[in-house]
Amino acid sequence: MTEDLILRSLKGTRELRDHIASTSKTPAFELDFEIHFLVFLCARMDGSIGQPESWFLDGISRHLQWSGAHRRLLDSRVEALASYDLDQLRAYRENPEWGIHLYRIAAGCALADGSIRNDEELFLANLASKFLNGNNDRANAITRYLVTGEQAPEETDDKSLAEGERPSVEECLERLHALIGQDHIKQEVEKLIRFLEVQQAREELSLKSANLSLHMVFSGNPGTGKTTIARIVAQIFAAIGILKKGHLVETDRLGLVGQYIGHTAKKTDEVVQKALDGVLFIDEAYALAGSGDNDFGHEAIDTLVKRMEDYRDRLIIIVAGYPKDMEEFLASNAGLHSRFNLHFDFPDYTSDELLGILKIFCESNQYQLDPTAETALGELFTKELTRAHSGFGNGRFVRNLFEKAIRNHAVRLHLRAKPWSQDDLTTLSQEDFSPENRKSKFDSKSVSSNGKIGAP
């Protein structure tokens, strides 16, 4: 139940976080902080954080792919707060959908020990007032979904917005083209959308239109923007009327495959039901084509193939993974090749694009690069791409590099006398991106029992 509870609580959260971070001035770290802070508040309602709540937070950290350093930065941020109040949560004001996700995560934390106590119920009521506009029916439906897996309320699937408030096709395409890199993918997506618009116009004049399968294969290494672009594509399909809602449900083998005979088909069907009128995004889909006759992944594939036919007008599936592995996945079932006619290959980012992504991380977190760092990073990215192989992290590699750099930057400042100027606090140097330099400086100091750094 714990793993299912975490998956339900985090439904679509990672994608929404990345989408907000890429289209607004709110950095991903701030959104992660809001999740961490909210779970912290909920977990300590009885005065201490119990093991179920601790497991729940560990599960969130795992599923949102927080590194150890990232988790420690979040812990430090919470510990440094002068007071623990809900005013620390701000992103929902510009993104109401984010507030609904936060409520679902808090409700999941409250249920981590199996029930919601009186103090937790009052806390959730306060959150419902803030995030759900006091809609108790929606709050109850979210709780019911977390407990039973019963179809969740529409909540964020259509963002609770009227049709006219949804982004237009042109607005979605503008978001798409604002992303760094993947120019070929952007062009192919726009070609597809223009083709669909023409087919719709032909239908309106009773002309024949091409019946094109819109299920897609996204092939490429991690961190190349596959999920972000899938989310935008889903919104475009809603904007032109192909999908009623245009929400994106992300899953993987864990979300589709059961643990015993008969469980997988039911579990896969539940995920499909959540994705109806939207896009089902299956990450690392090749993992479903497991080896051996007793692997339940094949049952999930068979169920998906049937549902693609049953809901041909209400469901679009995007499968993603490494190029070679995706070829093997499509070959694992005779019905897959004919249903996935659209293939998009996501190449690794170039050195300049990786540098551009790093600059976005810096800008979002109020840092800047000095010229020496920028030059060194260009050389580093070129070197990494030269020896890159299947599995190169791309955007994730850049995120990890940035997190290490700001940690190294903090160490460098603490080895210098105060006061620190604004430039000191915001400028990352070449040294901050060199772990060896950080290690050597630590080694030249001794650390006393109270944690203070002194002379050896």
pLDDT, tens digit, 9 for 90 and up, residues 21-53: 877 778 889 999 999 999 988 887 655 566 788
Q: Which residues contact 437 (CB under 8 A, 6 or more apart)?
A: 408, 431
Asked if residues 235 and 172 have their Cβ atoms less than 8 Å apart, the reply is yes
Sorting pLDDT into bands at 50, 70 and 90, what band is 293? low
Segment 226-253 shows an average pLDDT of 91
What global pTM score does this model have?
0.63
In the predicted structure, residue 197 carries a pLDDT above the cut 70: yes
Q: What is the chain's mean pLDDT, rounded?
A: 84
Q: Which residue has the higher pLDDT, 187 or 128?
A: 187
Of 163-167, 201-205, 292-296, where does mean pLDDT reach its minimum?
A: 163-167
Q: Which residue has the higher pLDDT, 112 or 316?
A: 316
pLDDT, tens digit, 9 for 90 and up, residues 213-232: 899 999 998 889 998 899 99
CATH topology for 164-346 is: Rossmann fold (3.40.50)
Of 115-124, 187-196, 442-451, where does mean pLDDT reach its minimum?
A: 442-451
Q: What is the pLDDT of residue 386?
A: 85
The domain ranges of the chain are 2-160, 164-346, 351-445
In whole angstroms, what is the distance from residue 287 CA to residue 29 CA?
30
Segment 93-115 shows an average pLDDT of 88
19-33, 117-131, 314-328, 386-400: which has the highest mean pLDDT?
A: 314-328
pLDDT, tens digit, 9 for 90 and up, residues 141-183: 898 888 877 654 444 444 433 344 567 899 899 989 989 999 9
Tell me what percent of the residues of the chain surpass a pLDDT of 70: 88
Q: What is the pLDDT of residue 431?
A: 92
Q: Which long-range contacts (CB under 8 A, 24 or more apart) does 285-294 make?
A: 285/252, 285/319, 285/320, 285/321, 285/326, 285/329, 286/321, 286/322, 286/325, 286/326, 286/328, 286/329, 287/252, 287/253, 287/321, 288/253, 288/256, 288/257, 288/329, 288/332, 289/328, 289/329, 289/332, 289/333
Q: What is the pLDDT of residue 47?
A: 55
Give first-to-last CA distance, the chain, whole Å.
51
Q: What is the pLDDT of residue 161?
A: 36
- Give every strand in the sheet of 248-251, ordered side by side: 248-251, 278-282, 315-321, 216-220, 342-346
Segment 58-86 shows an average pLDDT of 85
CATH topology for 351-445 is: Helicase, Ruva Protein; domain 3 (1.10.8)
